[in-house]
Amino acid sequence: MSRVSKDLVAASSRMIILSLLCREKNYGYKILQAIKLLTEGGWTWKDGMLYPVLHKMEKEKLIQSHWEESDIPGLRRKYYEITELGLKELQKEKEEWHFVHATLHKLWEMKSC
């Protein structure tokens, strides 16, 4: 699939970010690249979409951030990682998405329009 509606991207952004950060801490550019890779280029997020979501999630205590030196001298990166509250939220959202997926799957297996 090449395009996904902005509404669906917005609705799933927290779940995607929490799922990525559950695997490992990461910085913004690398999060953007992971999303592009996982979606095989179907979703191309921009900085302007990612960072407001990260900042909101940090205010909600779902993630936390800290600065680290990079491999490039003099360059620092802001790393984000999931918190205990974020892990609980991820589990809750997983259950909700599984329910939605199962419901749609049942509908789509019925006679189509």
Q: Per-10-residue mean pLDDT for the chain, 113 residues long? A: 76 95 96 93 85 97 96 92 98 96 92 69
In a domain? residue 23: yes
In a domain? residue 46: yes
**CA distance from start to end of the chain:** 21
Residue 41 has a pLDDT of: 85
Give the burial class of 53: count Cβ atoms within 10 A of its Cβ; 0-12 exposed, 13-18 middle, 19 or more buried: middle
In a domain? residue 42: yes
Domain that holds residue 23: 6-109
Residue in the structure block whose two tokens are 């909101």 = 56
Number of domains in the chain: 1
In a domain? residue 1: no
Residue 34 has a pLDDT of: 95
CATH code at position 80: 1.10.10.10
For residue 98, the tally of other CB atoms under 10 A from its CB is: 10
Residue 7 has a pLDDT of: 87
Residue 103 has a pLDDT of: 94
The whole model's pTM is what?
0.88
